[in-house]
Chains A and B, each alone.
Chain A
Amino acid sequence: MATASHVVSQPRSSMLGARIREAGWGYGFVVVPIVVFGLFFVYPFGYALYISFFHWGILGKQSGGAGTFNYAKVIHDPVFHTAVKNVLEYTVGVVPLTMALGLSLALVINQKIHGRNFFRSAFYFPSIASSVAITTIALYIFNANGLFNHIIGSRTPWFQNAPTVMWAIVGLNSWTSAGTAMLYYLAALQSIPTDVYEAAAVDNTGAWRTFWKITFPLLRPAHFFILVVFGIGALKLFDQAFIVSNGLGGPNYSTYTPVFYIYRTAFTTFDFGLAASAGVVLFVIIFALTLVQRLTVGRQEAS
């Protein structure tokens, strides 16, 4: 009996050992990323959540107890409302434009044309160039006496004029990030099986119809991915808004964004509690919008 149980238990225990060893190796490989993630994401996030309930200055907790007063202040602050409105307008403008541009470029690059490697690099180049450098150059091109106004015969200071500045940033950023969208679309285009196109060709379907009825729907996973990633990025707009307004969010709060609000509250007012609560509110907004996208576009994708 004892022998039998020994015989049975041996492979079981060695299997368990192997599984533990395997798990050990697995965890061993992910331990560094998990520590980095914990240290630079989970811990700061938790800490920000904590300080958002206090009056918090440069040197830490200040007098006054804990409470949700920072949240009340952020939620009722008209400047924060303007910031959210600005960034939502920007997102609604920049994301579809970037997707349309990225998809158009990807369709061109996907053709068997001469020098397509050159064009691929050329279109992608704005995405890797420094946003600060690009914005600074754009400020010159689009100022009242700039090249752009010379061409169109206008005197509008596009980046210093409250009604136009956000749209100028939309134009600038959709151009710079179209290259990245192009890469995602290119990968998706190349994963579409060729037999569906062959079938369409057999049926004598026109190019326009093929695109709308076959290519576009089959790119749905890419649409969803780009919508989510670029949408989140757009809601966190900061650097271009900072540069064009000289760090003031103007003119007339037209370039004030939630991240800019967080920055000003933390490093000009030194109210880190309020800044942290604005950060949490922004997180909730982004999370909610991503969830909505997941439930609408994402569900269609799954089906």
Chain B
Amino acid sequence: MRKRLGVILGLLIAVVLLAATAQAGTRGANVTNVTLAGWSSGPDEDTLLNQVVAKFNATHPTIHATFTVINGDYPTAMTARFAAHNPPDVFYVDSSVIGAWERQGVVQPLNTYVKSTKFDTSAFFPKLLGAFQSGKTIYGFPKDWSPLAMEVNKGLLGQAGGKAPTNWSTLLKVAQTMKSKNLTPGGAPICLSPDWARMLAFVYQAGGSLSSITSPAAAAAVNFYVGLLKNGLAETPTQLGVDWCGTALGKGKSAIIFEGNWLLPFMKSTYPNVQYGVFPMVKDKTGGNLAFTVSYSMAKDSPNKQAAWTLLSWLVGKQGQTLWMSKGLALPSRKDVKAIGGRQNFLAAAPYAVGWGFGNPNFSTAYTVMNNDLTAVIAGSKSVSSMLSDIASALKGG
């Protein structure tokens, strides 16, 4: 019995040793393994990123990067990894949570690496890089981005005079014409989400900002936005019976919507026959837009920081980003990388679009307050001024 146990144990040890040496053999002696993690926006994007990573591995024999998709609730999954001191070396960070993560001390400041490798940061659009900066400290480099634009059904626009609105008053005029001619039966000329991720662009157009959210300019923008919903020129996706404004445009329930670059692949695959144009966001006192952007950042707990920086700086560098842009899934965050065609009205917003996150560590928490209060304002159970003061207090961490 004891002899047999000994034989089994011996065999087990041999198998483990063999597996370990085999593993070491494939990795090679001086190869550093670096893990890269992000969420998945679809199989196309996963395949493309794996191709980009394969290219990196081919050109960097001493580093082996592997990309893992974190499915489900990304911030929650990452929180668990941070807490266990076992995060991926390089990972996606949405601009809306960078402030909170930075304050929790889980994201590595990159300035020393930028300096030591003389990495050129001037190629990035300053507003996009600024979304991941706190003062002069850089916590990530934008991998790509999208602002909002105004998408208009071409046929319906033709019937309403043919000229796309450029400012608030022409937007009102076109919408009124569309409504009086009943061009969107069973719907409304404009689809507006009850979401600050759309309405805040109007606040900036009115000359307001998130940091001065209780200003008259902000209140004017809210009144304009909510007014469109109240006077029937616009309806929310819920009222239109669709999941988002993209579907409303596709189904002809609305003629004018405000969405980002993500609309283009959706329309191509779901409503390929709908003719629509992409126009710059309307203006009021000034141009205002939001920049939804995601960074590649490095974990403070990463054991392979130098190798992680090599991967990160290559991915956001000219070569990496050019590869990443090859399928037009996103817009380049670098001035020296070209976007594929039809994106010029999105890219036009780069100089003034404000990073979604606004450098406020309480932003992701405040966003819950913002949208809950907005639904109350639309329903008429809360005043605009009380919503704006709620938001100001939430942004202060109250």
**Is A bound to B?**
yes
Interface residues of A (CB under 8 A from B): 57-60, 143-146, 155, 157, 160-162, 248-253, 256, 264, 266-270
Jot down 28 A-B pairs with beta carbons below 8 A, ordered by A: A58-B104, A58-B105, A59-B104, A60-B83, A143-B241, A144-B238, A144-B239, A144-B241, A145-B240, A146-B241, A155-B239, A157-B238, A160-B238, A162-B375, A248-B367, A248-B368, A248-B372, A249-B368, A251-B376, A252-B372, A252-B373, A252-B379, A252-B381, A253-B372, A267-B79, A268-B365, A269-B100, A269-B362
A79 CB, min distance to chain B CBs, angstroms: 8
Question: For B194, what are the chain A residues with a Cβ–Cβ distance below 8 Å?
Answer: 251
**Top-9 shortest CB links A-B:** A145-B241, A251-B375, A144-B241, A252-B376, A160-B238, A58-B104, A269-B365, A157-B238, A250-B372
Looking at A57, A60, A251, the one whose CB has the most chain B CB atoms below 10 A away is A251
Q: Determine if A250 and B375 form an interchain contact, defined as CB atoms under 8 angstroms apart.
A: yes
Question: For A155, what are the chain B residues with a Cβ–Cβ distance below 8 Å?
Answer: 239
Looking at B76, B82, B368, the one whose CB has the most chain A CB atoms below 10 A away is B368
Interface residues of B (CB under 8 A from A): 73, 75-76, 79, 82-83, 85, 100, 104-106, 194, 238-242, 362, 364-365, 367-368, 371-373, 375-376, 379, 381-382
Q: How far is the CA of A163 from the CA of B127 in the complex (A)?
A: 41
Q: Determine if A162 and B368 form an interchain contact, defined as CB atoms under 8 angstroms apart.
A: no
B315 CB, min distance to chain A CBs, angstroms: 25
Q: How far is the CA of A267 from the CA of B81 in the complex (A)?
A: 13
Q: How many A-B residue pairs have CB under 8 A?
A: 77
Partner of B106, one of A59, A157, A268: A59
Q: Determine if B104 and A251 form an interchain contact, defined as CB atoms under 8 angstroms apart.
A: no
A78 CB, min distance to chain B CBs, angstroms: 10
Residue of B nearest to A82 (CB): B372
Instruction: Given A59-B105, A143-B238, verify A268-B368 contact (CB < 8 Å).
Output: yes
Residue of B nearest to A143 (CB): B241
Q: Determine if A248 and B241 form an interchain contact, defined as CB atoms under 8 angstroms apart.
A: no
Q: How far is the CA of A249 from the CA of B371 in the complex (A)?
A: 10
Residue of A nearest to B75 (CB): A267
Question: For B76, what are the chain A residues with a Cβ–Cβ distance below 8 Å?
Answer: 267
B344 CB, min distance to chain A CBs, angstroms: 32
Question: For B240, what are the chain A residues with a Cβ–Cβ distance below 8 Å?
Answer: 144-145
Q: Determine if A267 and B73 form an interchain contact, defined as CB atoms under 8 angstroms apart.
A: yes
Q: How far is the CA of A160 from the CA of B104 in the complex (A)?
A: 34
Q: Determine if B365 and A157 form an interchain contact, defined as CB atoms under 8 angstroms apart.
A: no
Residue of B nearest to A157 (CB): B238
Q: Determine if B241 and A250 form an interchain contact, defined as CB atoms under 8 angstroms apart.
A: no
Q: How far is the CA of A268 from the CA of B76 in the complex (A)?
A: 8
Residue of A nearest to B373 (CB): A252
A146 CB, min distance to chain B CBs, angstroms: 7
Q: How far is the CA of A174 from the CA of B82 in the complex (A)?
A: 39
Residue of A nearest to B362 (CB): A269
Question: For B82, what are the chain A residues with a Cβ–Cβ distance below 8 Å?
Answer: 58-59
Q: How far is the CA of A157 from the CA of B378 in the complex (A)?
A: 15
Q: Determine if B241 and A252 form an interchain contact, defined as CB atoms under 8 angstroms apart.
A: no
Knowing that A58-B104, A59-B83, A144-B240 are A-B contacts, what are 17 other residue pairs whose CB atoms are under 8 Å apart, sorted by A's residue number?
A: A58-B82, A58-B105, A143-B241, A155-B239, A161-B238, A248-B371, A250-B375, A251-B372, A251-B375, A251-B379, A252-B372, A252-B373, A252-B375, A252-B381, A256-B372, A266-B79, A267-B75
A158 CB, min distance to chain B CBs, angstroms: 10
Question: For A60, what are the chain B residues with a Cβ–Cβ distance below 8 Å?
Answer: 83
Q: How far is the CA of A267 from the CA of B320 in the complex (A)?
A: 32
Question: For B100, what are the chain A residues with a Cβ–Cβ distance below 8 Å?
Answer: 268-270
B302 CB, min distance to chain A CBs, angstroms: 14
Instruction: Given A143-B241, A157-B238, A251-B379, verify A270-B79 contact (CB < 8 Å).
Output: yes
Q: How far is the CA of A244 from the CA of B339 in the complex (A)?
A: 36
Instruction: Given A249-B372, A250-B375, A251-B379, verify A58-B83 contact (CB < 8 Å).
Output: yes
Residue of A nearest to B375 (CB): A251
Question: For B371, what are the chain A residues with a Cβ–Cβ distance below 8 Å?
Answer: 248, 250
Q: How far is the CA of A13 from the CA of B256 in the complex (A)?
A: 91
Residue of B nearest to A246 (CB): B371
Question: For B85, what are the chain A residues with a Cβ–Cβ distance below 8 Å?
Answer: 59
Residue of B nearest to A265 (CB): B365
Q: How far is the CA of A232 from the CA of B381 in the complex (A)?
A: 32
Question: For B382, what are the chain A residues with a Cβ–Cβ distance below 8 Å?
Answer: 252
Q: How far is the CA of A266 from the CA of B373 in the complex (A)?
A: 21
Question: For A59, what are the chain B residues with a Cβ–Cβ distance below 8 Å?
Answer: 82-83, 85, 104-106
Q: How far is the CA of A157 from the CA of B106 in the complex (A)?
A: 41
Q: How far is the CA of A144 from the CA of B241 in the complex (A)?
A: 5
Q: How far is the CA of A59 from the CA of B300 in the complex (A)?
A: 11
Q: How far is the CA of A161 from the CA of B376 in the complex (A)?
A: 10
B121 CB, min distance to chain A CBs, angstroms: 27
A244 CB, min distance to chain B CBs, angstroms: 11
Q: Determine if A268 and B364 form an interchain contact, defined as CB atoms under 8 angstroms apart.
A: yes
B242 CB, min distance to chain A CBs, angstroms: 8
Q: Determine if B104 and A270 form an interchain contact, defined as CB atoms under 8 angstroms apart.
A: yes
Residue of B nearest to A250 (CB): B372
Looking at A157, A161, A270, the one whose CB has the most chain B CB atoms below 10 A away is A270
A257 CB, min distance to chain B CBs, angstroms: 13
Residue of A nearest to B365 (CB): A269
Question: For B381, what are the chain A residues with a Cβ–Cβ distance below 8 Å?
Answer: 162, 252
Q: Determine if A264 and B375 form an interchain contact, defined as CB atoms under 8 angstroms apart.
A: no
B230 CB, min distance to chain A CBs, angstroms: 16
Q: Determine if B104 and A57 form an interchain contact, defined as CB atoms under 8 angstroms apart.
A: yes
Question: For A269, what are the chain B residues with a Cβ–Cβ distance below 8 Å?
Answer: 100, 362, 364-365
Residue of A nearest to B81 (CB): A58
Q: How far is the CA of A266 from the CA of B364 in the complex (A)?
A: 12
A2 CB, min distance to chain B CBs, angstroms: 44
Question: For A249, what are the chain B residues with a Cβ–Cβ distance below 8 Å?
Answer: 368, 372
Question: For A256, what are the chain B residues with a Cβ–Cβ distance below 8 Å?
Answer: 372
Q: How far is the CA of A161 from the CA of B379 in the complex (A)?
A: 9
Q: How far is the CA of A145 from the CA of B247 in the complex (A)?
A: 13
Residue of B nearest to A267 (CB): B76
Q: How far is the CA of A264 from the CA of B73 in the complex (A)?
A: 12
Question: For A266, what are the chain B residues with a Cβ–Cβ distance below 8 Å?
Answer: 79
Question: For B242, what are the chain A residues with a Cβ–Cβ distance below 8 Å?
Answer: 145
Question: For B367, what are the chain A residues with a Cβ–Cβ distance below 8 Å?
Answer: 248
